[in-house]
Amino acid sequence: MIQLAQVQYLWIIATIPLLLVIYGLYRHYGRKMLRRYGDPELLRPLMPDVSRRRGWIKISLFCAALFFFALGLSRPRTGARVKEMKRTGVEIIIALDVSNSMMAEDYTPNRLERAKLAVSRLADNLDRDRIGLIVFAGDAFVQLPVTTDYVSAKMFLNTINTGSVPRQGTALGQAITTGIRSFSLDIPGSRALILITDGENHEDDAVAAAREASNQGILVHCIGIGSEYGKPIPMPDGSLLKDEEGNTVVTKLDEKTLREVAEAGGGIYVRAGNSDFGLQGIVDAVRKMDQQEFQAVVFEDFNEQYMYFFGIALFFLILETLIGERKGRRIKSFDIFTKKAVCFILFTGLSLVASAQADKKDIRAGNRAFRKGDLDKALLDYQRAAIKDSTSLKARYNMANTLHLTGDDTQAGGIMKSVPDSLEVPEFKADAWHNLGNIYLSEKQYAESIRAYKNALRTRPGDMDTKTNLAYAQKMLQDQQQDRQDQNQQDKDQQQDQQQDQQQDQQQDRQDQNQQDKDQQQDPQNQEVPPKITPQAAQQMLEAVQQKERETQEKVQKEKTKVAVPVRSGKNW
């Protein structure tokens, strides 16, 4: 299928009928002027070299050259199609530890950032496989369902931090259990779970979970990150994390636990170095797994075809200049003026195309920088391309994705929002909506991400990755709304309790005041001389005050019980 990159030049074709009309009027005016000298039939023998047909042949050739010249300027191109094809590979889910201990700086710049870089490189080595991403600390969540969309995987990876999981701690067993439920294939020997963690398990039995994964045909590999000597954990305010007793926490690599988990899961254990993360051993183990066939989306780049149309235009233009207007002269002299005219037309066309190709050159340079991981240079190249051609959807699309990877989700979303509606190819439109949904999802704008995923499915209903992401976004939106409802109900209950307490206090004050006024009216003489308090009365008053204090403490304790949050572990690293 041929596509036109710059359709605005097609207006040139609309001038061809106008040129033919003007030439016809010119010929009519010439015949009219000729009649002034006499009968054209009598004058024709006096002009034996004049040909009425050659003029129309020349103008027709010129119009044909102009037609193909306009097509060349519009940059026809083929390719850039999205195809589904069979691919062979395995399913791999990476479980990344995002607990506070991953902020320790025994790796440069810290354990978490070093692990994220390693995951990105691992994805580059697994280009034939489907990958998924889980983040875990005290809980575990699916960050990205299994997919062949490696661009989305890296986009999600860039947004991960220690705040990605609300509850801190380290629950290796829950991460493994979540990974078991997240695979889409159900074929033993074709699934692998890779744990990247320091191994400090505070919550559950990770070995039992790994053994269960192995029983279901899932290999569990472990990459240990950290040092045996340990490092303190820096906090955002510059202080060091302390435990409940006020001691500075020193986090160490627990190799013993990770070796036991890998052995129980039928996988291997690799200790990550600061320079070499030990990925090759994991990649080699994955390559030995049973390869399965599944559907994958493959993109083909554009192939420019403008040069062929310019070649046809040049052929017709040269032919037009070589045909004479008089009979008996098959080829007229190719004079200097004609040479200059042809050169001018071709130079103008090639200059326009070269200008149009400049943005594509910048896009290709940006793509090379993107593949190398130089996001700043890639973003600069995409911005240059967008400046040179503000209508370039590819430049805006790539720029939005790069901005998202650099963490500027607000600007990325603003640019990406204008892309899908401008695309005409359904597959491209679906991909743009899908990536826009990913951007919104990373910003926790779940309602917007749901709308984007639904638009993608309207264009491409059978996309399983989009369906999975849509279900995940709907679940997160439901949880978010439930949290808000719970918080609102809690605030409402607290407000009602406060109002009831205030009303009871006011009512008690009024009763006390009324009783005091009544006592004063019954015994006015006693107002002048206060009665003496007996020891028994004083004891009764003291007991009443103590009873009131106990009731107040019980009420405060009930309020604390309402808002208390259950904590399964006292460790938050």
DSSP 79-148: E--EEEEEEEE-EEEEEEE-SGGGG-SSSSS-HHHHHHHHHHHHHHH-TTSEEEEEEESSSEEEEEEEES
Task: Specify whether the CB–CB gap between 514 and 568 falls below 8 A.
Answer: no
Q: Which CATH number fits domain 84-299: 3.30.70.420, 3.50.30.50, 3.40.50.410, 3.40.50.2020?
A: 3.40.50.410
Task: Specify whether the CB–CB gap between 110 and 100 falls below 8 A.
Answer: no
Task: Specify whether the CB–CB gap between 433 and 453 falls below 8 A.
Answer: yes
Size of the chain, expressed as the number of residues it contains:
573
Q: How far apart are CA 474 and CA 450, in angstroms?
A: 7
Q: Determine the 3-state secondary structure of 38 from DSSP.
A: coil
Looking at the DSSP assignment, which residues form a beta bridge with residue 50?
326
Q: How far apart are CA 456 and CA 441, in angstroms?
A: 14
Domain ranges of the chain: 1-81+306-334, 84-299
Q: Please state at what angle helix 464-522 crosses helix 446-459, rounded to 10 degrees.
A: 150
Residue 10 per-residue DSSP state: G
Task: Specify whether the CB–CB gap between 90 and 132 falls below 8 A.
Answer: no
Q: How far apart are CA 219 and CA 285, in angstroms?
A: 10
Task: Specify whether the CB–CB gap between 145 and 132 falls below 8 A.
Answer: yes
Query: In this predicted structure, what is the pLDDT of residue 553?
Result: 67
Q: How far apart are CA 572 and CA 138, in angstroms?
A: 8
Phi/psi for 144 (5° steps) reads -150, 120
Query: In this predicted structure, what is the pLDDT of residue 173?
Result: 93
Q: Determine the 3-state secondary structure of 159 from DSSP.
A: coil
Query: In this predicted structure, what is the pLDDT of residue 196?
Result: 94
Long-range contacts, 324-333 (Cβ 8 Å, 24+): 324/54, 325/50, 325/51, 325/54, 325/55, 325/58, 326/49, 326/50, 326/51, 326/54, 327/48, 327/49, 327/50, 327/51, 327/54, 328/49, 329/49
Q: How far apart are CA 533 and CA 523, in angstroms?
A: 17
Query: In this predicted structure, what is the pLDDT of residue 32?
Result: 77
Query: In this predicted structure, what is the pLDDT of residue 75?
Result: 82
Q: How far apart are CA 518 and CA 414, in angstroms?
A: 73
Residue 519 vs residues 165, 509, 515: alpha-carbon distances, Å? 64, 15, 6
157, two tokens = 């990876």
Q: How far apart are CA 382 and CA 363, in angstroms?
A: 6
Query: In this predicted structure, what is the pLDDT of residue 209?
Result: 94
Residue numbers of the chain with a pLDDT score lower than 70: 1, 34, 37-51, 79-87, 127, 202, 275-276, 294-303, 324-359, 388, 390-391, 421-427, 505, 509, 512, 514-542, 545, 548-549, 552-573
Query: In this predicted structure, what is the pLDDT of residue 216?
Result: 93
Q: Dmax of the chain from CA atoms? A: 154
Name the residue with tokens 């490696």.
150
Query: In this predicted structure, what is the pLDDT of residue 85?
Result: 59
